Structure 1
Amino acid sequence: MGKPRRISDLLGQALKQHGLESGFKRGAALALWPEIAGESLSQLTEAERLEDGVLYVRVCDSVVGHQLTYMREEFLRRYREKLPGAVHELRFSVGRPSKGQKKAQPEIVPLPALSSEEEDRLRALAQQMPEALQGAIYKAARAVVRRQKASPHPPCVVCGSPSPENPCKSCQRMLKDPLIEKEARRLTRRPLSGRLDGEMLLAARYLAGRDLEAQLRELLPQVVREPQLLPMLQDTARRFLQLQTGQKDVTAYRHLLPETLQSLLKEV
């Protein structure tokens, strides 16, 4: 049996299925920056955006920017502890932080509203964060998710971020990582025992799911010719569904299999 899944993990999976997880992480990364940087530095800096795991931070002058480059690894370590898998790199640029200032121009195109279900999910996930930051994280995540919904691009099949390419460029790089490839091979055998976190785990699950799906396609015609191979097909289908749902007992999820497999497999 895999290790027990935390509530935050289950909520994260639900948000990913609705294209919200990456939006929440982006908003949370921005809202967490003052805590990551500390009281003094946060007054001189502002986290602007998170793209492909890179957090862009605006600094008041080049002296502060130079100082922050020496603290980059420490900031990344803090992000790994508080928001695993969200921030992989930091980039600093000189410019006057806009704290306390009004936006020069209002948004021209209204952003789409979130459904009550989406609002509830964001609140629930925000509640898994430190209490003092929950309000800020919820507001930031809500704004990011609304912008994400307004994007003309579909969500990345791995991380859920809108992208003109699928998988997105960041995930394409991760999918070639030997560590992720190794984890994917292990997940094809033990789908409920993920050892990575955040987007690295999502990438490994994507590779493992693709591999198991290929195994199912290969086994299906063989089972038609050789019925004695049916237990092997059942086991592969079970692992495929466990990977997709995160549940050990996948009896209730047989409908997620391709129709040709559903008609052949009466149980998984």
Structure 2
Amino acid sequence: MSRARPSAEIVAKILRQKGLSAGIRRGRALVLWPEIAGPALSELTEAERLEDGVLLVRVADSVVAHQLTYLREEFIRRYQEKQPGLVRELRFVVGAEKKARPKSKPAVLPKLNPEEESRLQKLAQRSPQDLQEVILRAGRAVLQRQKENPHPPCPICGGPSREHPCKPCQTLLAAPAVQREAGRLIRFPLKTRLEGEPLQAARYLAQQKLEAQLRDLLPQVIQQPELMPILQDTARRYLQLRTGEKEVRAYRHLLPESLGSLLKEV
């Protein structure tokens, strides 16, 4: 019997399948900032957004920004201890002091329904104890923003977008490194060289190409049954790419509908 995988791996897989991974990763960086900066500095600063591993932090004025640059490496080190690879760089943006913002009523975000809340609770329970509250808060924020925005999330970065993929991710898909990774993933779905959103983009591209291969192979296999092993191998790689699992028999339901009845083994 195979060993149970660490809970962190299970959570990462579920988040990836639900399309929440990128958004929750960003939310986790923002939620952790007060702990990283400490009580005093968090009163004068606010983590604003995470872009490609670069965390943008809004600060009270240029003097504070200048002083914080001397602490950049320490902040990055603390992030590395909490969440390795999450934040690779920090940039300080001068703006209004956090506590001096207009006292207007905050926007009321849509509430999560019981099913959504239950799903988040289950995700949190499967994660390490020290991350459970972070995942809950970040997950709620991501889902609430998605419900507030009428546009569905981009299949790569998870951000709301009229276009799918969104324009920044379309640019990412055209990057040579992403295309090379996608070519590798088509052949070896479990061997990755990239990480973060470039990896997500490469997975998306590889999945699209494998789906096209499956559609092309299906009518040929019907006419030439001896091609069935090729179809099975393509379907196995497709499911490995989608699930991150080596053994994929339990995931046949994730195959395109037209293949489900034909493929008994993958």
CA deviation vs aligned residue, 1:217-262 (integer Å, no higher than 9, x gap): 2222332343322211110111111111222222232232223323
Equivalent residue, structure 1, for 2:65: 65
Cα distance in 2, alignment partners of residues 235 and 19 from structure 1? 26
Secondary structure at the counterpart of residue 264 of structure 1: coil
- Measured after TM superposition, the shift of residue 210 of structure 1 is 1.3
**Structure 1 unaligned runs (5+)?**
none
Return closer, same or farther for 1:118/1:107 CA change in 2, 3 Å cut-off: farther
Secondary structure at the counterpart of residue 55 of structure 1: strand
Instruction: Confirm or deny: 8 A CA contact 2:125 2:132 kept in the other structure.
Output: no
Instruction: Confirm or deny: 8 A CA contact 2:17 2:242 kept in the other structure.
Output: no
CA deviation vs aligned residue, 1:147-184 (integer Å, no higher than 9, x gap): 23322110111132222221123322332333332222
CA deviation vs aligned residue, 1:180-207 (integer Å, no higher than 9, x gap): 3222222212222334333333222112
Which residue type is aligned with residue 245 of structure 1? T
Secondary structure at the counterpart of residue 264 of structure 2: coil
Instruction: Confirm or deny: 8 A CA contact 2:182 2:203 kept in the other structure.
Output: yes
CA deviation vs aligned residue, 1:90-132 (integer Å, no higher than 9, x gap): 5432234325x7971223444222533233045337x537x3x
Equivalent residue, structure 1, for 2:261: 263
Of the structure 1 ranges 157-166 and 31-40, higher mean CA displacement relative to structure 2 is found in 31-40
**Structure 2 unaligned runs (5+)?**
none
Equivalent residue, structure 2, for 1:177: 175
Equivalent residue, structure 2, for 1:106: 105
Is residue 115 of structure 2 the alignment partner of residue 94 of structure 1? no
- The structure 1 residue matched to 2:165, chosen from 164, 167, 172, is 167
Cα distance in 1, alignment partners of residues 109 and 32 from structure 2? 26
Equivalent residue, structure 1, for 2:11: 11
Equivalent residue, structure 1, for 2:124: 123
Equivalent residue, structure 2, for 1:197: 195
Instruction: Confirm or deny: 8 A CA contact 2:181 2:202 kept in the other structure.
Output: yes
Cα distance in 2, alignment partners of residues 181 and 68 from structure 1? 38
Return closer, same or farther for 1:224/1:80 CA change in 2, 3 Å cut-off: farther
Return closer, same or farther for 1:80/1:5 CA change in 2, 3 Å cut-off: farther
Return closer, same or farther for 1:88/1:151 CA change in 2, 3 Å cut-off: farther
Between 1 and 2, higher relative CO (CA 8 Å, sep ≥ 6) is seen in 1
Equivalent residue, structure 2, for 1:32: 32
Equivalent residue, structure 1, for 2:228: 230
Cα distance in 2, alignment partners of residues 72 and 169 from structure 1? 31
Which residue type is aligned with residue 224 of structure 1? I
Cα distance in 2, alignment partners of residues 213 and 57 from structure 1? 41
% identical equivalent positions: 58
- Number of residues of Structure 1 aligned to a counterpart in Structure 2: 262
Which residue type is aligned with residue 193 of structure 1? K
Return closer, same or farther for 1:78/1:97 CA change in 2, 3 Å cut-off: same
- Measured after TM superposition, the shift of residue 23 of structure 1 is 3.5
Cα distance in 1, alignment partners of residues 265 and 78 from structure 2? 46
Instruction: Confirm or deny: 8 A CA contact 2:20 2:142 kept in the other structure.
Output: no
Instruction: Confirm or deny: 8 A CA contact 2:61 2:97 kept in the other structure.
Output: no
Cα distance in 2, alignment partners of residues 259 and 24 from structure 1? 30
TM-score, length of structure 1 as denominator length:
0.78
TM-score, length of structure 2 as denominator length:
0.78
Cα distance in 1, alignment partners of residues 86 and 168 from structure 2? 12
Secondary structure at the counterpart of residue 58 of structure 2: strand
CA deviation vs aligned residue, 1:38-92 (integer Å, no higher than 9, x gap): 6665453221344676533211211232454576677567656644665576543
Indicate the RMSD between aligned Cα atoms, in angstroms: 3.4
Equivalent residue, structure 1, for 2:155: 157
